[in-house]
Each structure stands twice: as C-alpha cells, then as structure tokens.
C-alpha cells in the first residue's frame, strides 16, 4: 500500500471505530431490568489504580491503528476490519442477553489527579452494562493475532506484541472498569471470533 493508501486507511479506520462504538453502546441504551455481577474475592483485593487509564484509553488506540501500517493490501485491510465488526456484533449480542455491570461505588472517587479526571470522562461516555466479555481485552488480543498473521515475527517482536494485550488486561482491572472474570472471557471471545471469522471468510471467498 502506498503512503496515500495508508493515510486513507487510517481515516477510514477512525471512522469505523466511531461506528463501532455506536454498536458497542447500543446495549447500554436498552432498558435492563437486572444487571449481573461477576464480583469475586480477587476483585475486592485489587486496588483502584487510576493511573492505568493511560494504557486503557490513550495507548490503546495507537496499538489498534498500527495495523493500518502493517497490512500490505486492501484485501487484508478489509479482512481485518470485518473481523472486528464480527467480534463486536457477537459481544453486543452477549451484552443484551447477559448484561454485566460493575458496582456503582467503583465509580465514586475524588477527582484530584489528571488520571482520575480522564477516567471520569471515559466513564461518563461508557456507562457500563456490557462488561462481559471485556471488549478492550478482546480487541487488543485480536489485534495481536492479526499482527502475527500478517507479519513474520521473531520471538522478541512477538513478546512485545503480546505485552500490550497483557497491559490492557491489567488496565481494565486496575481502573475498575471490569471484573477479573471479564478478562479471560475477553481473551476467549477474541480467539473464538478469530477462528470462526476466518472459517466463514474462507468459505465465502471459495464459494
């Protein structure tokens, strides 16, 4: 892809992220009689560390968008973008069937630091209710799997790639945006979607 193609791809990706968030927020707009809680003892033992919001929010998007600069053609671009929407549709469906929300008191804290203020802004936009599985974790893991698919990576590069999903997973817990159980569910969600979408895509292209 030429530099102009990559710039166009970046613009399209930003637009697709915006569209994706409308799908992601849809379950939150529904009237829900009951939200489920996945609170376990480990959740109560993990301290609230709002500084992790910088991984959760700021570093998260450059990692995802870096895929635009790794694909070699528009077919790869379309394949990857479509896989994210496939995963998002499944997550939204799960959220409507099994709405999970963190305790309200997890969002009650003083805004004396920049990290806390930033997290507060995020929480005003993302009201919760579709915590399970963690979409942050799913997207980070799916991004890493795509990077492995389109790159011939060394062990060192692979370790760096997988470091970010690990950090995102920790950020979801330390910012109290998610329960601990949302994290492994997010990883499994990404793996299942990666395999399922590839099978569907292969059958459609062969047909």
- Tell me the pLDDT of the chain (207 aa) as tens digits: 888 999 999 999 999 999 999 999 988 888 777 899 999 999 999 999 999 999 999 999 999 999 999 999 999 999 999 999 999 999 999 999 999 999 999 999 999 999 999 999 999 999 888 899 999 999 999 999 999 888 877 888 888 899 999 999 999 999 999 999 999 999 999 999 999 998 888 877 765
Residue 105: both structure tokens together? 């008191």
Token pair, residue 101, equals 């929300």
Give 110-175 as a 3 state SS string: CCCCHHHHHHHHHHHHCCCEECCCCHHHHHHHHHHHHHHHHCCCCHHHHHHHHHHHHHHHHHHHHC
pTM for this structure?
0.92
């Amino acid at each position: 892809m030429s530099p102009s193609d990559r710039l166009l791809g970046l613009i399209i990706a930003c637009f697709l992220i915006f569209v994706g968030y409308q799908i992601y927020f849809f379950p939150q707009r529904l009237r829900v009689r009951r939200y489920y809680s996945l609170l376990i003892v480990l959740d109560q033992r993990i301290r609230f560390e709002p500084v992790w919001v910088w991984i959760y929010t700021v570093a998260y998007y450059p990692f995802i968008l870096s895929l635009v600069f790794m694909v070699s053609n528009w077919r790869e671009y379309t394949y990857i973008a479509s896989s994210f929407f496939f995963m998002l549709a499944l997550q939204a469906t799960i959220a409507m069937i099994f709405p999970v929300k963190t305790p309200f008191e997890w969002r009650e804290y003083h805004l004396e630091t920049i990290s806390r203020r930033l997290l507060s802004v995020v929480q005003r936009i993302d009201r919760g209710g579709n915590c399970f599985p963690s979409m942050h974790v799913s997207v980070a893991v799916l991004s890493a799997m795509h990077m492995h698919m389109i790159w011939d990576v060394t062990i060192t590069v692979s370790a760096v790639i997988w470091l970010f999903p690990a950090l995102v997973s920790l950020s979801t817990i330390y910012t109290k945006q998610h329960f601990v159980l949302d994290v492994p569910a997010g990883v499994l969600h990404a793996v299942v979607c990666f395999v399922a979408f590839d099978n569907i895509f292969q059958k459609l292209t062969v047909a």
